[in-house]
Structure formats: C-alpha cells, structure tokens
Chain A
Amino acid sequence: MVQVGQFALALAFVVTAYAIVASLVGIRLKNDKLIDSGKRAAIGTFICITVAIACLGYLFVQSDFSVAYVAGHSNKALPIYFKIASIWGGQEGSLLFWGWLLTLYSALVVVQNWKKHSSLMPYVIATLMGTSLFFTAMHLFVVNPFKLSGVALPDGSTNLFTPVEGSGLNPLLQDPLMVIHPPMLYLGFVGFVVPFAFAMAALLTKQLGDTWIRTTRRWTMIAWFFLGTGILLGGNWAYHELGWGGFWAWDPVENASLMPWLIGTAFLHSVMVQEKKGMLKVWNMVLVTLAYIMALVGTWLTRSGIVNSVHAFAASPIGGYFLAFIIVGLSASLYLITDRLPYLKSDNEMQSVVSRESSFLFNNLILLASCFAVFWGTLFPVISEAAPKWLGGGERVTVGPPYFNRVNVPIAIFLMFLTGVGPLLAWRKASTNSLKRNFLIPAITAIALGIVLLFYPGLKPWPIGGGEFYAWLAVMMATFVAVTIVREFYKGARARSYGSGENFFEAVTNLTLRNTRRYGGYIIHFGFVLLFIGWSGQAFKVDVPGIEAGIGETFSVRNYIFRVDDLKVDEDPNYTAQVATVSLFENRKKVAILYPEQRHYKAGEQQSTSEVALRSTAKEDVYLVFQGGNSDGSKAIFQLYLNPLTAWVWFGGVVLGLGTLIAMLPNKKTTPRRPAAARRVEEGKEIEVVS
C-alpha cells in the first residue's frame, strides 16, 4: 500500500504538470484537443491524490507502523474514527489533505464551469494546477507521508525498522470535533484558491465583465462559510477540551484562519459595489489575491515553526518553500493587476460620503485594518527580533491575547456600528430624512438599553477603555443593529402581506426566499449580533481556582452549590480517567449532574487532558474542570468558571451559518398571490362597487 501511495503521488505530480502545460500550450496553439486533455488531466490529478490519501487512511486503519507518519500519529488502541482523523493530525498528512481538497475543488470547478466559461477555464485550470503542483511537490519531495520508519545513522543511511506500537495521536486532538473541525477549516482555506484562479483567468483573458465576479462571489461564499464554520468549531473544541474557560486565545493558528476570513468578508461586501455600480474593480482583484495569499501565509506561519503556537507543527523545512511560493504568487498577481489597470476603470463615481458605496468602503477599511492588526501582532515577535538594535529591536517579545483584545475590540465595535448602518444607506446618496427614518428608533432603543444596563445589579460605570466598558458599548451597538434588522424584516413582510394577502410568517418566508442575498445577509448580520452579545459576556467571567472537596463535601459560588458525590477511576484501552460526579444545585434546586474528568493517555508521552463538565444556559455556562487529586489524595481539586452568555456565541454561529446558506440559494420565483381585497371580492365577502 505504501508503494501504491508513493506511485499515486508521483503520478499526480506528472499529471498536474501536464494539466498546466496542456492548458497553456493549447490556448497558445488554439488546439482544442490539447485544452480538453488539460481538463481531463485536472480531473486525473484528483483521482491520483484520492488514491494516495486513501492509501494513507488504509495504513492508519491497519496500524501499519512501518510508515513513520502512521507510527508518529496513531496507536493500536485508538478508535477507528480517530485513526482516520489522524490523517490530518500532523504535518505531512495535513498537507496531503490540503492538497487533496484542492484537487477535489479543481475537479468540481472543471465539471461545473467547463461549458459555461469555456474561454476562462484553461487559465483557471492552469492557476489551480499551479497551486496543486506546489503542494504535490511538497508531498513528494519535502514532507512525504509515506516515508518509512527508521533511525538515521551517522553515515547518512537509514536503519529501517517497524515499531511495535505507535506514539499515538495528540490527546488534545482525540475529540469528536477534531474529526470535523480541520476538514471545515481546510475547505475554507483551499476554497479561496478558486476565486483567485477565476480572477487570474479574467485578468489574463481581459474578460473583466460580470462573469468572473458572479462565479467568484459564489465560491468565496462557500470558502467563507466553511472557514467561518471551521473557526467556530475550533473555538468550541478549545472551550470544552482545553479547560481554560475560553474559546478564543489569539493563538497564531487561530489568527491564521481569521485573516483570510476577514479579507473574504471584505470582498463579499465590496463585490456588491462592483455588481451594482461597476466600481472598486481593482480593489476587488486585490482582495481576492490577498485572501488567497493569506490562506497560504496562514499555512506558512503555522508550518514553518516561525511563531510559537500551542498547535503549530514543529519547525520544518517547508517554511522556505512556502515563503518563496507566496512571494512568486503575490508578485505575479500584482504585476498582472497593474498591467490590466486600464481595463479595470470604474463605471461610476462616488456621489456622497453618506452612501452605501462609501459605507462599504469604510467596512472594507475596518476589516483590513483588523486583519493587519492580527497579522502585525502575530508576526511582531519575529519582526522585533529581526529589527536592528539601534531601533530598539533585536529581542524577541511576546504578543499575547491582551494585545489583540486591546487593538481589535474597538475596531470590532466600530465594525458592528457599520453593520447596522451600511445596508440601510441608499446607493449614491442618502438623504437626511431617510437617515432619520431608518436610524432614529434603533439609536434611541440602543441608548435606552445602555442606560438601563448601567443600573443593572452587578454592572457599574467602568473606566473608559476597560473590558466591561467595551462589553457595554458592544451590547448597545448589537442592539442598534438588531433593531435595524428586525425593522427591515417587519417593514418588508408587512408590505408584502398587505399586497399579497399572505399571513405575516408566510410573508417573512417568501420575502427571504425571493431575495435570498439581501435577507440572507440580514440573517448573517443578526448572527453577528448574537456573537457580539456572547463575546460581551466574557468581560464578566467569574473564575474560582483551586477548590478542594472530598466525597460528600460541598462548595458554593454565588447561587450555585456543588456536591461531590463520587470520585472514581475508569479504564479505557486508550487512557485512564479520573472521573468526579458532582451534583449541581441552583437556588437549592438540583439542576444537573456534572462529570468532569482528567484523562491520562497511555501511548506516546502519556499526556494528561481535562474533559470539562458543562451546564450551558442562555444566561451563563457553569464550567467545571477536574484538576486531579490533592497532595494526599483525599480530595479532588476543581477549577470553576461561570461564563455569562457563552451559549449566544454558538447560537450566533448557527444563525450565521443558516444566513450564509440562505444567501447562497437562488432567488425563488413565485407567482404573487392576488391582493387580499381582490380575493375577498371573489369569495363574495365584499361586493365590488362599480361606479
């Protein structure tokens, strides 16, 4: 199976190179047969890499430790679903998975668009396969997942041997979410290659009309959806697996996924300006290129070992290759954009600063500023070390979560404000009357809620710039946006209901389905409102460390009482778990039984992990971590967090996903029902007066 996998990789390399050459030479020679063979080669690449990844999966399932990657990331007792998830549990396999998804996307793009965009497709294939060739070269020559187990000898040769047992998968990755989170994230990362390929094809063919932008927008939404889902699933995994009470730590790997997502968000907004007004054509090209480059930069940051991260892979030789590929890709695309500037002129001019166009420009500015802040903070340890001493540099510094919070939170709050304002401003120029009509009630509601919150028990006026102050401001902004969205749905549904005779809920549904982009967009914004409220709650987190309690003993925090009912040891083939059984009482009423665990994994370095016990409600999460026994073993040690509003984050994520799916649907074409008045006349309930 190892040989089959190796052969499939080698064949993929040749076929990918052929796809590029056949597509480009075919265009040059106007040879349709050659172009067709390039298309088939792109599908062939997908088949080859699929065979390679299937071989790797088989080796994991068989626990074939003669392969170094399998021995390093699996063990015999590992459940089969984790064995399969081990494919992306380390450097070599995750890159192969990246490459496989890229070929899968490429095959889908070829099948879906070959007839629709026949003149663009050879260039699209050449660009997609260009990226694929780089990855296939990495699999084959630099980080080969089929390398055999062995020990390097001083004379340079390798003494091959098959270990009896594998080192096991990192215990932190042995979680059901880890089976789904990385594929989602990679689907997002890789998805940005498709819009980039279409953008490059449009530039090369000078076909810079609506076609490429329509196709690109759809693919960007797909990538954006998967990346967003992946980020949220990752946050959820961190929340219940790492045991530190939070879901976002500004780790370089998290930042690497956030950056292309922010740029994708900017593009999805600015593309509307190009579709409606024929403006921002150059800007959109730059954004598509940046999203692609950032997806590669993220991979480079976390694979090269250049930054420290809890889930970064060890330093490896791929960093240099990635950097070179990024520089070449960026230079080539910027050259192409510059060269085609005369074809990218705006069709219209901006007429007012108070208009939807300019609000989208500011939205883009804020999103890019946020992306830059994340990028700068993530790379700053390296930059400060590389900076000359006379500039005060030369030493590595740490850039931890407080930095990112201080820089990004005010930016995010302003972005929330624009989220409410932008969609309701008129194109070209918004009048003072329309501003009053659209924003007076939402603004009054938000301010009123802000005042009420100041008097809420437990809250207080805070120092300006503190976490609680920002939380208060964020809730006000979120309220402002929520009211604008609800009013939009209400006004639209009321008008539709009046004209068609539909009841209110029918009207809301049909309104949404007949204009999926607009109302899907509102639902996405509403998802963000919920996420914002959830984030705001984190400023009021309660953290009680080092609680010691034995069986039958109780401890209380606020209106909660915890009673330790049992402490036991569970044996699993893969780990030994110390499990506590804790009854939770709220206002003296038993509401849940919690089972926090600490696991000690048997394979490899025998690491320990915490399995958090959670009781989640809309108001707050009770988050209990079992940290093991005290020094004489008579009592258990717990860490307790009360996390307000965390459930809103996950619910907001679901709403956001739902909104994205709706926005991707084609508009429903329905025959409008006859007006209510007309139907009443028909049904004989009213007599038509003929004058």
Chain B
Amino acid sequence: MKLFRNAFIAILLFAALGRAEDLERFKRLSEDMICTCSCQQALYECRMPACGFRPGMQAEVRQMMDDGKSDEQIRAAFVAKYGPTVLIVPGTHGFDITAWIMPFAALIIGALAVVFVVYKWRTQPVVAHGSGPVDTTLHDRVEEELKKFTPED
C-alpha cells in the first residue's frame, strides 16, 4: 500500500515538474518572439487590452509544443509565417551579427583611443599653455599698450 502511495506521489511530482518545465519553455519561447499587434513587446508580455493577435499566436506556440516540435523548429515556423521581424532580437548570422558586435567594437575602439590619448599626453609635453594662435588685432593692441608702459631710459 505504501509503495502504491509513494508511486502515486512520484507520478504527481513528475507531472507537476513536467508542467512547470512546459510553462518555463512556453515563457522562454514567447519571450523570444514579438506580438504582431504593434505593441513592440514580447508575445509573452503583450498586455494590450483586447489584443487580436496574442491569443492566436500563443495558442500556436502551445500547439507546436504539444506536437513535439523543438524550439528551433517553432522559431523557424514563426519566421516562415510572420517573417523575420517576429523574432524579438536580431540573429547571430549574416548582417544581423553586426547588431551585437558594433556596440562592443565601438567600446573597444574607444577604450584604445582613450589609452592612446593618455599615453600620448604622458609622453609628449604640451607645447604651450593656454592660448592658441594669437589674434593679430589683439596682438597689435597688446604691443601698443606695452609701449605705453615701457620705462624710458
């Protein structure tokens, strides 16, 4: 009797675990895709009142999960049906990879530039302090003023 009871509990636990796994998978998949209702949110997160797209799309995900399709197959089926814009982030192949690379490439190039600037500043003394080229009018005026104050011999 005890064995039956334990087996029953184990089956229930497995069922619950399976359901939790299914929910987790459903959440993950519908977070990877965008709702086509123009809310610009993940299919899982779309809360547009009376959204005409979310229930149907979510049902499609569940149906494909029940049919035993893999995550990749489900994503591919959605891309085939709704186009590549259904995926919430760019892929990692073709031109899409630049979406991911460029920000970090810019950061690295910027960091190298900063290091270069600091190095250059440290090794090359600054030529002149303060001003740039002297404005000629101003220069003449300063010369004129100076003449006035030059002590006569």
B94 touches A393 (CB 8 A): yes
A384 touches B96 (CB 8 A): yes
Taking the closest CB of chain A, its distance from the CB of B146, in whole angstroms, is 21
Chain B residues with Cβ below 8 Å from A373 are: 103, 106
Q: How many angstroms from the CA of A352 to the CA of B132 in the assembled complex? A: 25
Chain A residues with Cβ below 8 Å from B38 are: 308, 310
A361-B118 in contact given A347-B130, A397-B84 (Cβ < 8 Å): yes
Interface size class of A (residues with CB under 8 A): 35 or more
Chain A residues with Cβ below 8 Å from B88 are: 398, 400-403
Chain B residues with a Cβ closer than 8 Å to the other chain, count: 51
B89 touches A402 (CB 8 A): yes
Is the CB of A399 closer than 8 A to any CB of chain B?
Answer: yes
Q: What string of 1s and 0s marks CB contacts (under 8 Å) between B87-116 and chain A?
A: 111110111100110111011001100110
A407 touches B84 (CB 8 A): no
Is the CB of B68 closer than 8 A to any CB of chain A?
Answer: no
Is the CB of B142 closer than 8 A to any CB of chain A?
Answer: no
B49 touches A598 (CB 8 A): yes
A400 touches B40 (CB 8 A): yes
Taking the closest CB of chain B, its distance from the CB of A553, in whole angstroms, is 22
A368 touches B110 (CB 8 A): yes
| Interface residue from B41, B42, B96, B121 paired with A349 (Cβ < 8 Å) | B121
Q: How many angstroms from the CA of A639 to the CA of B45 in the assembled complex? A: 11
A343-B40 in contact given A376-B99, A399-B89 (Cβ < 8 Å): no
Q: What string of 1s and 0s marks CB contacts (under 8 Å) between B135-152 and chain A?
A: 100000000000000000
Q: B113's closest neighbor in chain A, by CB? A: A365
| Interface residue from B45, B89, B111 paired with A244 (Cβ < 8 Å) | B45
| Interface residue from A344, A393, A396, A607 paired with B85 (Cβ < 8 Å) | A396
Chain A residues with Cβ below 8 Å from B115 are: 353
A353-B103 in contact given A243-B47, A397-B85 (Cβ < 8 Å): no
Is the CB of B9 closer than 8 A to any CB of chain A?
Answer: no
Taking the closest CB of chain B, its distance from the CB of A276, in whole angstroms, is 15
Q: Which of A206-262 contact B (CB under 8 A)?
A: 206, 208, 242-246, 249, 251
A403 touches B106 (CB 8 A): no
| Interface residue from B46, B86, B103, B131 paired with A398 (Cβ < 8 Å) | B86
Is the CB of B56 closer than 8 A to any CB of chain A?
Answer: no
| Interface residue from B95, B114, B130 paired with A362 (Cβ < 8 Å) | B114
Name the residue among B100, B111, B115, B118 with the largest chain A CB count within 10 angstroms.
B118
| Interface residue from A243, A368, A372, A403 paired with B89 (Cβ < 8 Å) | A403
Chain B residues with Cβ below 8 Å from A377 are: 99, 103
Chain A residues with Cβ below 8 Å from B83 are: 395
A310-B96 in contact given A348-B126, A397-B84, A608-B50 (Cβ < 8 Å): no
Is the CB of A345 closer than 8 A to any CB of chain B?
Answer: yes
Chain A residues with Cβ below 8 Å from B45 are: 244-246
B87 touches A397 (CB 8 A): yes
B47 touches A242 (CB 8 A): yes
Q: How many angstroms from the CA of A646 to the CA of B64 in the assembled complex? A: 36
A398 touches B87 (CB 8 A): yes
Q: A626's closest neighbor in chain B, by CB? A: B49
Q: How many angstroms from the CA of A164 to the CA of B130 in the assembled complex? A: 69
Is the CB of A132 closer than 8 A to any CB of chain B?
Answer: no
Q: A397's closest neighbor in chain B, by CB? A: B90
Q: How many angstroms from the CA of A639 to the CA of B44 in the assembled complex? A: 12
Chain A residues with Cβ below 8 Å from B6 are: none
List the 7 closest A-B pairs by CB distance, nearest first. Answer: A392-B94, A343-B132, A373-B103, A400-B88, A350-B121, A392-B95, A393-B95
- CB pairs A–B below 8 angstroms (5 shown): A347-B126, A349-B122, A349-B124, A397-B96, A627-B47
Residue ranges of B at the interface with A (Cβ–Cβ < 8 Å): 31, 34, 38-42, 45-47, 49-50, 83-91, 93-96, 99-100, 102-104, 106-107, 110-111, 114-115, 117-118, 121-122, 124-133, 135
4 additional contacts, CB 8 Å, given A249-B41, A348-B126?
Answer: A246-B45, A342-B133, A346-B126, A351-B122
